[in-house]
Chains A and B, each alone.
Chain A
Amino acid sequence: MRTVITKKLPLREMYVWELPVRIFHWVNAFCITFLIITGFIIAYPPAILSGTGAQQFGYWFGYLRFTHLTLGLILIINFLVRFYWFFAGNKFAKWNNYVPLTKRQWKGIFETVKVDVFLLTPKPIYDIGHNSLAATTYLGVFVLIIVQAVTGLAMWSAASEAPGAGLFQDFLFKAGGFFFLRHLHYMVMWLFILFIIAHVYLVFYHDYIERNGIASSIIGGWKFIDERLAKDYVNELNATEELDKKKHEIKELEKEVKETKAKHNG
């Protein structure tokens, strides 16, 4: 067997995923997994064909629904924290990663489709954070989470006295009632299942072909990044910082000018 060692590939370790991002990811993964399991049992409870009655089986189905709701609420709170981090986090966690607004992101999407779907080996755009295609699908996942949260809370409001439940109840009626929301909630569960299959597979696939430690990066936060990309990134950071400084300087100067003018005229 031949041992392969790369010669020309200088790599840098970069800390990409900050702790809040990683916590969000794993809490999210845990909640969604068990929401799917408990939700599926709510939709298709097992048949119990023996036994004497309710007193023997207690409240297990009730507890199951309680678990589903609790996980749902954790999912929502977790997402709210992440929402804050869309603005407070580092460059790779910022909201604009997930919304394809720039030409570069669209190019990234097409290039990644070439690699992921058509298995081509073009000259790809390597990203330090998410690749643009993945980031855009995460936008879809965020939307699905919001849909589940809203439909879930609306269904919950039916039997809740909590403050604000009335609002969700009104929403429930206006949005087409239980029939529609329940069905939507159920269908979105399948979208989550499809996403999980694609997501887990593609993480391993990219780890395999890019070998940048993407799979373990969500545990420790570090990735192996090509030196050139890392350098570009540092340049960009410096440039942005300088731009900000200049902008600040201009503001100060303008203020000064205004004051002098006022003194001069008065």
Chain B
Amino acid sequence: MNKKGKTFYEELMAKGYSRRQFLKFCGLMGGMLGLQSTGVAQIVEALETKPRLPVLWYHFQECTCCSESFLRASHPVIEEILLELISLEYDDTLMAAAGEQAEWVRAEAMKENYGNYLMVVEGAVPLGSPGYCTIAGKSAKQIFDEGAKGAKAIIAWGNCACSGCIQAAKPNPTQAMPVHKLNPGKPVVNVQGCPPIADVMAGVITYYLTFDKLPELDNTGRPKVFYGRRIHDTCYRRPCYDAGLFVESFDDENAKKGYCLYKMGCKGPNTYNSCAIIKWNNNVSYPIQSGHGCIGCAEPNFWDNGPLYATLPAIEGFGIETTATKIGAGLTAVALGGVAAHAIVTNIQKRSLIKNRTDDISLNVEDNQEYCGELGKRMDNLNKKIDLIRKDQLTYLGGGYRPDKPSDEPKN
């Protein structure tokens, strides 16, 4: 119980870290969140005085790559101490307990921290049938609802939880749902990516602990500080893009030179994430730096916009390799053929066509006359109306003139 009262700072000290390491972490977070130095001071104060956030970590339909990413945070400082930042009360994948014992731990953790804990959701929730994901006799939806009820806020961790990822890719046989579509009634922050970057999680939690609210989100629920810019706008290969220098195949000279991967299907121009800035694996590299295009993993429905190695997506219902280009070119050919055939037939027919306009020109003018007749009718109506108004006016001017009652006619 008293372990919960511990602050992050106390926890670090107990584990033998130095204050220097602690301050480094705070400075790094402040920098990533784009705070001023006063903001960093606020972080320091919060992490020194506020008890750590209790976190309940739920796993649903997923591959657990997001947990892997979380446990292998890129920055050395973060890697070592991210797990100390929170008080991880329950995580069915990481905890030693199993079976009934694990269920008991969750129930206890929920009871103790009711209304105060952060719920982290990893994976999508299948609504198709409870058979797809049932734990200890409860369906994923039931478990999710229970967890959401007592949560202060929800972090959707990874693309599955944010927008369904491959679980919800067409045709989505299990009816996998991301968190925000389940209407949990709690604030939700989408930490996007497949997997997302652990530093981003550290940033979000630090922000929440310090300021007691979620960081500013864009209108798809992603924190703006980390998802405000595209890979394409932060990519170090951008000068090659702007110079029109592209890799044409993965084994060509241009690939060796490190040209832009646009023509290899790089989805950097479509994708908002901070891979090119924070990078992966101890800030060593990110996919493009390793010679592979971005696959757009931080965007909703990126699986349905394949192929991964083509600039334009395939069009459903026309076969895997059919792009808008093929369909467009086909239709253009048909149109040109049609025009040519049309021109030929027109010339064969031209005698009658020209004759029609040479002498005996027949012209369909009845419609116009009909329309003019209608105008005439409208004019008549207006004239009648004017007459009525005139009479009405006379009634007053002449002091009681009533054309329908001759006896009332004014005498003079």
Contact = CB atoms under 8 A, between A and B. Distances in A.
Nearest to B345: A119
Contacts, number: 204
A54 B342 contact: no
Contact of A107 (B342, B367, B375): B367
Interface residues of B, number: 80
B245 A54 contact: yes
Interface string A42-61: 01111111010110111111
Given A229-B365, A239-B372, A243-B379, A49 B269 contact: no
Interface string A251-264: 00110110011001
Secondary structure at the A interface, as helix, strand, loop or mixed, is: helix
B77 to A, nearest CB: 32
Chain A interface residue count: which class? 35 or more
B241 A61 contact: yes
10 contacts: A9-B357, A44-B311, A47-B263, A49-B252, A54-B240, A187-B328, A226-B361, A236-B372, A250-B386, A253-B390
Given A48-B246, A159-B233, A250-B385, A179 B396 contact: no
A126 B367 contact: no
In the A-B complex, list the 9 residue pairs whose CB atoms are closest, starting with the nearest.
Answer: A190-B328, A178-B270, A61-B244, A62-B242, A57-B243, A179-B305, A54-B243, A239-B375, A246-B382
Given A124-B364, A243-B378, A253-B393, A104 B371 contact: yes
Nearest to B355: A121
B328 A260 contact: no
Interface stretch (B11-19, B110-118, B140-148, B332-340): B332-340
A32 B233 CA distance: 27
Given A45-B246, A211-B357, A257-B396, 14 more contacts: A47-B248, A54-B240, A59-B242, A60-B243, A173-B218, A174-B220, A176-B300, A179-B302, A182-B312, A183-B305, A205-B342, A209-B353, A253-B390, A260-B393
Residue picked from A229, A239, A256, most chain B C-beta under 10 Å: A239
A13 interface: no
A253 B389 contact: yes
Given A57-B243, A243-B375, A183 B313 contact: yes
Given A54-B245, A57-B244, A179 B332 contact: no
B253 interface: yes
A249 B387 CA distance: 11
A58 B220 CA distance: 37
B262 interface: yes
Contacts of A260: 393, 396-397
